[in-house]
Amino acid sequence: MPKKINEDFIKQLNPHARVLFEEYKIAFEKKMWASVMILSLTIIDNILNDTDNLHYVDGLDINHFKSSKDFHWLRIRRNQILHFEKPVEGFLGNKDSDKTLKLDAVRADEILKKCIYILFRKY
């Protein structure tokens, strides 16, 4: 991953999200770009749907993040990967496909880090 996430934030995640995060790190290291995008949103969804987070995560922060264009971009991109409707950029088998997927994975990584920072910055 390009930047490290403060390990104190990782401690705030539930065990399910921690396991996914460990697999996420491996996927990034192994250049499994589609998996990075899928896992990043899965981790975010896990965080946003964990009712235990409501005890220490500000609801306004959750709403702000959920309404962000980055969050919506990641959901659309993940859905394009999982739910084939037509060929999409990065999956065309041309020489730019891997480059496109890598750029999108880096963006997904930044969105995940932003989510963790916004929601857990006070703790």
pLDDT of residue 39: 98
pLDDT of residue 10: 76
CB 99 within 8 A of CB 28: no
CB 21 within 8 A of CB 13: yes
pLDDT of residue 1: 40
pLDDT of residue 72: 97
What whole-number distance in Å separates Cα of residue 11 and Cα of residue 13? 5
Q: What is the pTM of this model?
A: 0.86
What whole-number distance in Å separates Cα of residue 114 and Cα of residue 70? 10
Minimal CA–CA distance to 1: which of 18, 25, 37, 23? 25
pLDDT in tens, 69-82: 999 999 999 999 88
Say how many CA atoms lie within 13 Å of 55 toward its Cβ.
5
Minimal CA–CA distance to 88: which of 75, 99, 100? 100
pLDDT of residue 2: 39
pLDDT of residue 65: 93
**Intervals of the chain under pLDDT 70:** 1-8, 86-87, 90-93, 122-123
